[in-house]
Amino acid sequence: MENTKDLNAGKLGSIWEGPYEVTEAFGKGAYKLRHVETGQYVPRPWNAIHLRKYHI
């Protein structure tokens, strides 16, 4: 998985990766994700509390 954090930005740099597309919803807020640019799937489901909305 590619890390988009700019290493030279220090504390003010972005701490988020992505953007990802939700491809499947499981019970209790777990989601299967796919990277928008590369098309690769994330190997495990992610919980909704660790996700942020991103608008293109």
Q: Which residue has the tokens 């489901």?
A: 45
More confident of the two residues 41 and 2 = 41
pTM for this model (two decimals): 0.68
Question: What is residue 36's DSSP assignment?
Answer: T
Q: What is the dihedral of CA 15, 17, 23, 29, to 10 degrees?
A: -20
pLDDT in tens, 27-54: 889 999 999 999 999 999 999 998 888 7
**pLDDT at residue 6, rounded to an integer:** 53
What is the residue extent of each domain of the chain? 18-56
Question: What is residue 19's DSSP assignment?
Answer: -
Taking alpha carbons only, the member of 41, 56, 52 closest to residue 17 is 52
